[in-house]
C-alpha cells in the first residue's frame, strides 16, 4: 500500500482484513503488516499486506520496503490532486525497485465523488498508461474486495 499521507491506505487494509472502518485518523509510522488468505479462482492466496507510511515533504517511502513485492497498490485520494502527483512518483519508484511487481491504482474516497479534484481525464491517463484503476471507498466498502481480488489475480497471472 503506497500513497501520500491520509489517502486511506490503512482504512482500506482494515476494511479488507477486519471488515471495520474508523473515522479517526491514525498516521502510520513505518510499516504495519497484515495478512489475509483469499480464494482466487480456486487457488488459495496468502496476502501479506504492507501498509507503508504516507509520503509527504518530510517522509519519503524507502525503496527497501518495496523490494521483492509481487504487487503494489498506489492509493490516491480523489479529493486531493496533489496525492496523484505523489502517486506518479511512487509508481516510478515501484517500477525501478520491483520491476516484476503488478501495480494497481486505487482512487479512494469515491463516497465523496462530488468533491473530487481528480478528473475523468486523469483516470483515463492512468488507464492509457496501462494501469488498472479502481475507484474505492473504505468508508462505504465500495470495491474493496474487487481491488484485492484484482491485484491477487494479476499477481497470479504474471
- The pTM assigned to this predicted structure is 0.94
* 58-63 contacts, C-beta under 8 A, 24 or more apart: 59/5, 61/2, 61/90, 61/93, 63/93, 63/96, 63/97
Cα 55 from Cα 73, distance rounded (Å)? 14
| pLDDT of amino acid 113 | 96
Mean pLDDT by 10 residues, the chain (158 residues): 94 95 77 93 93 79 89 98 96 96 98 97 97 97 97 93
24: which residues sit within 8 A by CB, 6+ positions away? Answer: none
> What domains are defined for the chain?
2-156 (3.40.50.300)
| pLDDT of amino acid 29 | 73
**What SS3 state is found at 122?**
helix
Amino acid at each position: 500500500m503506497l500513497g501520500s499521507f491520509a489517502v486511506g491506505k490503512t482504512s482500506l487494509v482494515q476494511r479488507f482484513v477486519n471488515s471495520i472502518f474508523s473515522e479517526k485518523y491514525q498516521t502510520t509510522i513505518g510499516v504495519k503488516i497484515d495478512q489475509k488468505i483469499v480464494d482466487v479462482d480456486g487457488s488459495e492466496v496468502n496476502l501479506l499486506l504492507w501498509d507503508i507510511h504516507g509520503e509527504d515533504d518530510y517522509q519519503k517511502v524507502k525503496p527497501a520496503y518495496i523490494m521483492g513485492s509481487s504487487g503494489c497498490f498506489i492509493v490516491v485520494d480523489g479529493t486531493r490532486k496533489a496525492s496523484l502527483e505523489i502517486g506518479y512518483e511512487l509508481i516510478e519508484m515501484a517500477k525501478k525497485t520491483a520491476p516484476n511487481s503488478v501495480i494497481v491504482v486505487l482512487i479512494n474516497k469515491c463516497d465523496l465523488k462530488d468533491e473530487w479534484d481528480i478528473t475523468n481525464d486523469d483516470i483515463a491517463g492512468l488507464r492509457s498508461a496501462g494501469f488498472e484503476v479502481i475507484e474505492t471507498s473504505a468508508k462505504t466498502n465500495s470495491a474493496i474486495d474487487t481491488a484485492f481480488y484484482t491485484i491477487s489475480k494479476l499477481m497470479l497471472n504474471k
